[in-house]
Structure 1
């Protein structure tokens, strides 16, 4: 068990390459180290030869110094030179004995050389040096003594020469080995290069070439190609993976046509689902009645799923009833029996009560239960629900006379379609509620307008008629002649108020811009009231929604009506500034009024109250400024952040 991981590690390509290179490096370092060591020894031997050879020179100079002591004139100088030579020979021998690694200088580690050195050093210390020292110490040297010392010195020089020759022979041997190691290093470099090239070719280049050849055959759609898996390194794993890829490609290519057909069929099914979703969403967005919308929705479902019938039911949450809104392909008895169903009744009512999607296999239900769907011959009945913003609205059914399995994709599609229909039904309800609210608000404004104008006029006429009746009963006909013109003026004013209200109520925005509509309204005001009116407006500006434009027009008409009734003005100017903020001002040069009176009346001044309500509808504020004799200005201000573009 321990050797298996190590064996697996050695089979790795990186381990082989790194191990081989490290082995080559170790051998190269060993050979280079041996060569450097031999060179170092040769350098030390060369220095030893020079130093050992200097012994001969020093010995000859010592011999001359000893011989020179026989001459009285040179005796002192000879003795000094002789003593100096003794010291130098001692120093040379000591240097040879100890060695000097820094120079380097040392005697080769040879037994012959070591014995020769010991012999030379022994003769010097035992024979030659004592004799030389004794002769140098004598006052005079006899000729026989000089000749005897010369013989000893010559014999010592011959021993030194023999030592030098031994060192030289050793150096020659080491030089030979140095040349041999250099040749061996050269041979190792050549052989190592060849081995590395062979190793790299065998480990990397050959597998890469084999893999490249296999890929080339694969490009030619030869999916039967396989690479030999005869190694356990990374290239072996790569070859094994290549073979697996080839197997899969061969299988895929063999079944490609079948795979393409299946993918095409799946894509076609998805396209059909998307087409149904898009068509249903586009249809449900059209303005139409709820029955027509549900009928078109049900038709698309029955056509898509091949259903033999279906229905859409809406929930009455107060009574717990499910009302059948539309149906298709259902027999008349089934429709009549289930036109109104209680929640919890039958299979569909149970599904509504539990709020779960159900697909019933009617073949597995006991026929003794006597369900209407059994009697009509339906084999499968599905129940899906309608939701809108988390609110339950109803359900829809699909009936199949032959058994039909609905997969998860079909169920998901039907649930999504149920949410689309539920959202569309809820939008219809919200639209109806908005229209009801708009009508109610507009009726309130109409009532306020009638109260502000016609009701007050009728009240005045009622008082005048009572006074007329009283004058006639008392036969005070002089008073009658004064009351009749007042009645005529009151009737005329009420008539004009009715015409103006009818004109305002019938006002609709034409297809032109707001500026053109305002210009048209001012023209009618000039013709009816006989008061000059001008419009000063910016030509540019973002358009308003049509509902907002209509509210702005009503505000201008109400302000102009107040000018006609109360201002006594000769000129009216409407100023419209459409820049960062929107500003609309209606100013007249009439008699004006005291603002304190307006503040005391508050909302009881119906005209001002109506204009402020309309301004609030568009998110604007309305300001009224007036003073006695200085006219009146009504200003509407709409900030940029509250403005809605059309």
Structure 2
């Protein structure tokens, strides 16, 4: 009986479960008893409050008799009477407004005696309350009832207090009994815990430590020392299983070590090859290196790498290493033969002599019937396939799938890196062109436009015989400033960052550059609600956007007044510009048919700093431009 560990643990568990259930039931009973006692004590204590309410209500009724006060006295009288009856004999007692509670009759003799005393005192107190309710203030019966209430209230309150204390003593004694019983359960549980712990250590822990010691020896290579027998039951069977495992490990240890050494050498070679491939950025070099390494490492006669052409959905033979006559085709449809498994990026697809000639139309028959193929995938997208083949007299190694797969993964990463490198070169060149175009538009193009206007006006003055010397002087000065701006732009292209400056200083500089020599020179109004220092990478973009907006207001909008407001809104910085010019329709092309190139550059500049540009304008209604960008990361 109880010879197995399962039965013994079941016995211990049943004992603990029984103690837990009994302790839980005891706690529920204790909680319920405390709740009932608290309710009873609360009701008993409320009797004192009701007596005080009756006395106080009688005094109020004597001074200011009202029907509401009379009803309140009657309700207190009824509540005291009903509660006293429930406390003494059990039953329903009024509790909260509109609700009642069930009260159990007392069983303690002292409590019963205290309640009987309250009933006796109440019997002499109640008639005077009823007489007071029946009489009117000022009548002799009302006055006598008031006097009796004052004389009898103290005795009734003392009796009520004694009853409350009796209820409290009974509740305290009940709680103490239940707590002592609970302590007995705790002691019993501790005894069971100590006994169970001793048995567990003797029957389970100590044998398991012996087994742990033997497993530790086996784990550290000691396959000679036998595992001792440790009795019957589950521990004995576990010891026997460990001994059988030791014998099996000893028999296979030598072969396993040889396989591990061979596989480790191959994986190290694959890792070196992968590092070499990833360091290359030319696609042709990557393709040639992959097929050569695959053939030399895995011992195949032919290695081939095909790349997927997305438009034609076909695999094109990109590189071959081995016999020159092995490759007999240039491409194969993506849904034919070998590619049926490769296109879904399956781990590996192998072909045997039983396959048809259509399995791989790219290789000659001896190789097409005995080769292994793995997909070249990047993030689940097929890029091509890497194949290793041998003649019918040879065989592709069955364990070569893992190595070939790792080579294919390395090839995929290398090819993807090469493509990304080319894309990055193209994107970088495009961004640089856009940047140069923006700088030319904001600087040189605007200056040339201004010079063109001044030269036209000078020609008109010369044609009319007027003196155009002052205007030509301004043209010369403007050309000198244009040369300086061009040199500054060249320096900026080499080093675009400027020292951090307050936003107001940047905006004033942009306004000065845009209004120099125009009708708006000195008439732009700027309101600095909030000012802050802007990082260099943001400062240049904000300055150019403001300069372009003011230039457009002067040259195109023919504005007489421009207002610029700087402030912060939440976690965004805002530059708001408003002019009284002729306005325009942002959704329509200009009359010359060209797009709003300046507005496009302004939008692009706002995007570069993580912001956005909103433009509101209409013909004859001026223009309002709001630049918003996040302050986080842009403020210094």
TM-score by shorter chain over 0.5: no
Tell me which protein shows more helix as a share of its residues.
1
The structure number with the bigger radius of gyration is 1
